[in-house]
Structure 1
Amino acid sequence: MKVFSKEQIYEGDRLTTERQEISSTELMERAATQIFNWMHLRMQGAQVPVHIFCGIGNNGGDGLVLARQLVIHGYNVKTYIVNYSETRSKDFLINYERIKDTTKDWPVVLNSAEGFPEIYPDDIIVDAVFGIGLNRPPADWVADLFQKFKASEAFTLSIDIPSGLYTDKPVEDENAIVYANYTLSFQSPKLVFFLPETAKYTIQWEVLDIGIDRDYLTQTETEVELISKFEVLPLYKPRQKFAHKGDFGHVLIIGGSFGKIGAVQLASRSALSSGAGLVTSYIPQCGYNSIQSSFPEAMVICDDGDKAIKDIHFNIEPTAIGIGVGMGQAADTIAAFEAFLKGNESPLVLDADAINILAKKKTLLKRLPQQSVITPHPKELERLIGKWSDDFEKLEKVKAFSKAHDLIVLIKGAHSITVYKEKQYINTTGNPGMATAGSGDVLTGIITGLIAQGYEPLAATIFGVYLHGKSADIALEDYGYQSLIASHIIETLGDAYMDLFKQPEPEEKQEEQEPEQ
């Protein structure tokens, strides 16, 4: 799913009115009617007090259309105009007159905190104050209104985006933002729904199709894409009947040190479980017995070092190499890593201490093959690109770093983001149970295994992150958040593959709710 920028959304609206020969007011009616249909389907005429707070721009116009539709259908509606400016949009004014023609209970105009209504926990709040057009912090009294929403504990529904959030820059005052239980976003989710600092302002979100011009939606390139099953399914490479292990590549996992051989075992197992034909673990001598006994499917090459890698040399020709897991940063290991990069031509996935060494010796970055994949956790990323002040600056720094060095960078998190130059791919699978030792090692193995099978590095990263998270989601059903461990993710990787082809459960047929457009 494409995630459109604010500017692209405005252009989509403009082209839709032009190509469909409708007015902006008619497009607003269509969009807000979708909000009404969503509420009407769930409320079924319930007389819960609904407080609709409308700004004086187009988001407020959406709120006025919604209020009118709810009134017509007999709901218990109170409408308020949050009068934060003297400027009104044309479509707001048109719908302000329409609601006054619909009911004698005209909207209450709020100019300060003195007029705030009482709101109770069992009420419903609809936030239609700002929308995506916000370009400056709200007035203090408007921020106080948003705090009143939060204090009321009433269910809060935001239209398009929680008011107070910007689409393209960080939060300035967290007390001046609506905390929404649910956000109904027009045509496309917003990037801020997925960033750690801003995702907390909506617990859930849903996209409503408001009929934006289809050619525009399909032909417009976006910097950001949301990755779900339907986006990764076309990436999948099926196997032929007469395939053999040599067709699916040979993975070499390099890493481990005394006490951290398990990281290599996890990465090697996940590489093989991802579909690689062969896996070799390259480890210091202290790990030989444990790898051979715990993972008999792997081949093993031992380094000259006893407790840490000191001289990376091998006589195999790996299709892809994953390096860094559990490797440590001993002086000999750093020297061995540097020498390895000088002669390596295989595709690389770099994790953990490989990234930390790169951060210490940034001149080594120029020795990485094009489109190498790096998978840092937040602190490793900070060591590599420097500190950032907010999530937007972090994204800009990562994009610049990726472009400068032609690298694929995975920003790990609740919604892991794969970045390649200007493009960003936001993952939708995974859960908090993955915050456990070894989870990153498993991911390194999966991505390396996919590259070995012939997936392009970017596709392998996008697909691998999805499979990693989906495996954890499946394992969660048996283990829960607290008891989920990295090995469980490997064990359910096959189920994640099978899920790609599982048909969705048929939905119960719902009666259409008027007025539906």
Structure 2
Amino acid sequence: MKIFALEKIREADKITILRQGITSYDLMERAANEAFLWIKTANPDKETAFHVFCGGGNNGGDGLIIARLLYEDGYEVQIHQIEGVKTSEDYKTALQNAVDKDVKVTNSLKIEYEGDKTIIIDALFGTGLSREPEGKYLEVIELINNCGLTIISIDIPSGLFLDKPTTVAVKSNIVLTFQCPKFAFYLSSNYDFVNTVEVLDIGLDKEFISKENSDIIFVNKKDANTRYKHVPYYAHKGTMGHALIVGGSYGKIGAITLSAKAALKAGSGLVTSYIPECGYNILQTALPEAMVITNGEKYISQISFEIKPTAIGIGPGLGLNEETQHAFHDLLQLQTAPMVIDADALNILSANKEWLKDVPENSVLTPHPKELQRLIGDWQDDFEKMEMVKAFSKQYKLVMVLKNARTMVVYEDKVYVNSTGNSALATGGSGDVLTGIITGLIGQGYSTVDAAVFGVYLHGLTADIGAAEISKQAFTASSIIDYLGKAFLQVESECL
């Protein structure tokens, strides 16, 4: 699903109005109706009461129409206007229609409620906000954020900017956004303002949506499934790839074991682990399906092998011993095929940035926020960070997997925002498993971009399935591996 910049969203509105022969108010009614239907379905109890806070622009107009529709459907509704603000013509029309239906309208900011039977609808600001909220608007935002009730924001949380950092905004439980997601929803600095996002199709011009290009993709199941490669009927272990997973050191053999097992469970026909001797018995016992090459007693001091892997993953549990660092450098200079680089291998690159030029083109780097900071330097805000990551990717021709609560894959100017996953993944070893999954997919013939995008999607999908069955608390890195099979089966069923 494409994510459009603000100017493209506005252009889509204008083209829809022109081509469909409707007015801007007609489009407002359509969008508000979709939001009303979602709210009604989610809250069938007619004892639920709604307080709808409306600004003076078209987002406020959406709120007025939603309030009218809820009232007509039998809900208790109260509209809160902000006194003394300038209003748009469509807002005035929506307000008159609400008043004609006897919906309660007040300038009071007082909220009367009965716990979970009351819901706040935030329709103060839409995408047209150009400056920080102040005065009465700031007072209302603080009131909403401190009310302790469920908050539904229409299109975006009021106060949230789409193209620059946000200081203050409504802290929404649910955002009902129109036609396509907004990139700002998924930036880590905005996590306080955005929880659940529901994308509502409001019938914007399909030709425009399909033909207009976007460098940002929201990877939903449709997009992820187009990247999936079915296992051929004639496949055997020699045609399904050979993944080499390099890593491990004394006390950190578990990390490399998780990666190797994940590569196998991702479908790799063969997996070889390259580890220090101290991990030999552990890995052979824990993972009898994997082959093992050893070097060094407690850490790897040299990387040399005669096998011909189709993909190499390196880093989990590797350690930062000086000999290990030089062994990694030697491997970079000998290999031309793309690699998956994670954990300590990333930290070694950060300490030796001149080695980045030796990393094979189209390799995949999987940093968490601190590892990314060590690689590319400090940034002022998330928008600057994304520009720095794009520049880094283009300079070294690398695929960047930015691990976070909402993981993103960046390749040059393209950004892929993952849609799956939850806080069950906040557990030690989760990243090691992701390294194994991506390495296993590359080994089977996936491009490195497809392996990263699809691997991240699968990784998150295991948590969505597993958390529902065993809880987020009980979900571990090993659970990701255990649920990979169910994740693949879900993808396969959707691809039929």
TM over 0.5, yes or no?
Answer: yes
Report the 3-state secondary structure (helix = DSSP H, G, I; strand = E; otherwise coil) of the residue aligned with 1:387.
Answer: coil
Report the 3-state secondary structure (helix = DSSP H, G, I; strand = E; otherwise coil) of the residue aligned with 1:14.
Answer: helix
Verify: 1:271 aligned to 2:263, yes or no.
Answer: yes
Verify: 1:155 aligned to 2:154, yes or no.
Answer: no
**Map of 1:395 onto structure 2:** 386
**Map of 1:34 onto structure 2:** 34
Whole-Å separation in 2 of the counterparts to 1:477 and 1:29: 36
Q: 1:83: Cα distance to partner?
A: 4.3
1:431·1:472 contact (CA, 8 Å) conserved in 2? yes
**Map of 1:357 onto structure 2:** 348
2:46·2:75 contact (CA, 8 Å) conserved in 1? yes
Whole-Å separation in 2 of the counterparts to 1:440 and 1:258: 19
CA distance 1:256–1:42, change in 2 (3 Å): closer
1:278·1:298 contact (CA, 8 Å) conserved in 2? yes
Q: 1:11: Cα distance to partner?
A: 0.8
Whole-Å separation in 2 of the counterparts to 1:12 and 1:325: 46
Report the 3-state secondary structure (helix = DSSP H, G, I; strand = E; otherwise coil) of the residue aligned with 1:51.
Answer: strand
Whole-Å separation in 2 of the counterparts to 1:208 and 1:478: 28
Q: 1:16: Cα distance to partner?
A: 0.5
Whole-Å separation in 2 of the counterparts to 1:117 and 1:477: 38
Verify: 1:238 aligned to 2:230, yes or no.
Answer: yes
**Map of 1:370 onto structure 2:** 361
1:84·1:139 contact (CA, 8 Å) conserved in 2? no
Whole-Å separation in 2 of the counterparts to 1:356 and 1:228: 31
Whole-Å separation in 2 of the counterparts to 1:253 and 1:461: 16
Q: 1:320: Cα distance to partner?
A: 0.8
**Map of 1:515 onto structure 2:** none
Deviations 1:73-125 (A, max 9, x none): 45433223224644x3332233334444x1466743x4xxxx42333244332
Report 1:310-349 matches (<5 A).
310-349=301-340
Whole-Å separation in 1 of the counterparts to 2:363 and 2:22: 48
CA distance 1:193–1:380, change in 2 (3 Å): same
Deviations 1:321-362 (A, max 9, x none): 001111111111111111111111122000011111111111
**Map of 1:118 onto structure 2:** 111
CA distance 1:355–1:41, change in 2 (3 Å): closer
- 148-157 or 371-380: bigger deviation: 148-157
Verify: 1:168 aligned to 2:163, yes or no.
Answer: yes
Report the 3-state secondary structure (helix = DSSP H, G, I; strand = E; otherwise coil) of the residue aligned with 1:481.
Answer: coil
1:16·1:213 contact (CA, 8 Å) conserved in 2? yes
Whole-Å separation in 1 of the counterparts to 2:385 and 2:225: 29
Of the three residues 370, 373, 376, the one matched with 1:382 is: 373
**Map of 2:125 onto structure 1:** 130
Report 1:48-447 matches (<5 A).
48-83=48-83, 85-86=85-86, 88-100=87-99, 102-103=100-101, 107-108=105-106, 110=107, 115-120=108-113, 121=115, 122-173=117-168, 177-303=169-295, 305-447=296-438
**Map of 2:485 onto structure 1:** 494
1:84·1:142 contact (CA, 8 Å) conserved in 2? no
Q: 1:221: Cα distance to partner?
A: 1.9
CA distance 1:157–1:332, change in 2 (3 Å): same
Whole-Å separation in 1 of the counterparts to 2:45 and 2:238: 63
What is the RMSD computed on CA atoms of the aligned residues?
2.2
Normalised TM-score (structure 1): 0.90
CA distance 1:116–1:222, change in 2 (3 Å): same
Whole-Å separation in 2 of the counterparts to 1:471 and 1:157: 28
Whole-Å separation in 2 of the counterparts to 1:41 and 1:325: 46
CA distance 1:298–1:217, change in 2 (3 Å): same
Q: 1:285: Cα distance to partner?
A: 2.3
CA distance 1:333–1:55, change in 2 (3 Å): same
Of the three residues 444, 451, 473, the one matched with 1:482 is: 473
Normalised TM-score (structure 2): 0.93
2:400·2:411 contact (CA, 8 Å) conserved in 1? yes
Whole-Å separation in 2 of the counterparts to 1:155 and 1:170: 25
Structure 2 residues without counterparts, runs of 5 or longer = none
CA distance 1:260–1:71, change in 2 (3 Å): closer
Report the 3-state secondary structure (helix = DSSP H, G, I; strand = E; otherwise coil) of the residue aligned with 2:226.
Answer: helix
CA distance 1:420–1:91, change in 2 (3 Å): same
Report the 3-state secondary structure (helix = DSSP H, G, I; strand = E; otherwise coil) of the residue aligned with 2:370.
Answer: helix
Report the 3-state secondary structure (helix = DSSP H, G, I; strand = E; otherwise coil) of the residue aligned with 1:459.
Answer: helix
1:119·1:152 contact (CA, 8 Å) conserved in 2? no
Q: 1:288: Cα distance to partner?
A: 2.2
- 74-83 or 310-319: bigger deviation: 74-83
CA distance 1:179–1:278, change in 2 (3 Å): same
2:176·2:199 contact (CA, 8 Å) conserved in 1? yes
Count matched residues.
493
Q: What amino acid is aligned across from residue 23 of structure 2 in structure 1?
A: S
